[in-house]
């Protein structure tokens, strides 16, 4: 996309609009993103409630935001690769698998943080 000449608050507004469109597209088209957001909607307030200190609350609630972020990146990788073409290619498969692995690790990170803080 070409530089639009937006600066300052206009650039910020444009960036927020693009971000909103991206999250809306992920919500509409990606089941895994919807699942991550539902999990986040449950864990985020629970993290603030269960944390005993500001650090614990930040760890619990903050970690809940990580999987949807990684899922957005995973979906972006998949969409870009699918745009290239439908034929199977080793590098395309590797990129998709690596992005999926990042999602799995983000979920593992949430589990480890929650277990460490709560136990």
Q: Which residues are catalytic?
A: 71
Q: How far apart are CA 95 and CA 81, in angstroms?
A: 8
Q: What is the CA radius of gyration of the chain?
A: 17
Q: Which of 61, 82, 9, 67 is nearest to 35 (CA)?
A: 67
At residue 27, what are phi and psi to the nearest 5 degrees? Answer: -60, -45
Which helix (H) or strand (E) element contains residue 26? helix 8-29
């Amino acid at each position: 996309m070409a530089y639009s000449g937006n600066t300052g608050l206009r650039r910020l507004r444009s960036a927020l609009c693009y971000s909103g469109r991206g999250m809306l597209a992920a919500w509409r088209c990606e089941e895994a993103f919807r699942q991550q957001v539902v999990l986040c909607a449950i864990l985020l307030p629970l993290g603030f409630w269960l944390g005993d200190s500001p650090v614990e609350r930040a760890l619990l609630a903050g970690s809940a935001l990580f999987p949807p972020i990684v899922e957005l990146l995973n979906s972006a990788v998949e969409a870009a690769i699918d745009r290239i073409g439908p034929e199977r290619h080793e590098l395309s498969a590797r990129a998709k698998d690596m992005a999926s692995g990042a999602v799995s690790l983000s979920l593992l990170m949430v589990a480890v943080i929650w277990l460490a803080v709560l136990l």
